[in-house]
Structure formats: C-alpha cells, structure tokens
Amino acid sequence: MQQDQRKKSSAEAEFFTEYGDASRYKIQEIVGKGSYGVVCSAIDVHTGEKVAIKKIHDIFEHISDAARILREIKLLRLLRHPDIVEIKHIMLPPSRRDFKDIYVVFELMESDLHQVIKANDDLTKEHYQFFLYQLLRALKYIHTGLMFITGT
C-alpha cells in the first residue's frame, strides 16, 4: 500500500514540474502518450470531477508545433458541443522564464474513437454510421461557429 502511494507521489512529481495549480489535481494514471506529450487521468480535488491532463513537453522547441498547439487551444476554448472534447483549464507556469511545458486540463473521456475501433472486431454498419453521424455533427458545429467568429 505504501509503495503504491510512493509510486503515485513520484509519478505526480514527474508529471507536474512545480506548476502552481498542481495541488488542485490528484494524478491517477497515465492513459496515453502521443507526439506532443503525455496524458494522465486525474481528479480535481476542488470539484471531485475526473479529468484528463495533457502535458505538452518543450512547447517552443519547434515553432510550427507551437503555432499548431496554440491554434488547437484557442479553438477548443471556444467550442462547446457534446461531440467535441472540452478544455476545462490551462495551467500556467510559475514564471515566464520557466515556461517550457504546458498542461491542458480536459474532460475525461472513457476512450477515443481509435481505441473503440481497434478493440472491437464485431462493430456493425450501424456503429460506423453513428460514428460518422457524431463526426459530421461536430464538423457542422465547428463550421457554423467559425463562420460566426470570422463573419463569413
């Protein structure tokens, strides 16, 4: 039991690097790794809500990646739709000098579309139709929202 607690504490210490809001979240486990960083599940100790925290390493290492990440964050902060993941919070670094990594807190999803398709060999035509329906609903919402924002 104590060894598990020590592992979690060290995982939290490795995941958060002295960010001011780090005490607000209790890290549960690493749920994924991608090209931009690591995603873990956590609990917001203020609200009790389960969240996903995406740590993006060395955000300014490649300027094109930094621009892409900024664009994604700016858009997702504006979008509110059941078929689009919601950004709950963005954790700021303790100082500008220490601004190397960024932490984005999202609502926690049970899985992603890739995992669902990969894990199920018995998906029916209706499953794929529903996936497509959700994708098109989200795309229509994004398109409508961008038209409103840009005025075109």
Enumerate residues 6+ apart whose C-beta is below 8 A from 126: none
34-57 burial by CB neighbour count: b if 16+ within 10 A, else e? eebbbbbbbbbeeeeeebbbbbbe
Please tell me the distance from the alpha carbon of residue 49 to that of residue 36, in angstroms, as a whole number.
Answer: 25
Enumerate residues 6+ apart whose C-beta is below 8 A from 66: 59, 60
C-alpha 59, offset from chain centre = 15
Sort residue 95 into left (φ over 0), alpha (ψ -120 to 50) or beta: beta
Residue 55 marked in a binding site: yes
Joined together, the tokens standing for residue 123 give 């998906």
Known binding positions for ATP: 55
Known binding positions: 55
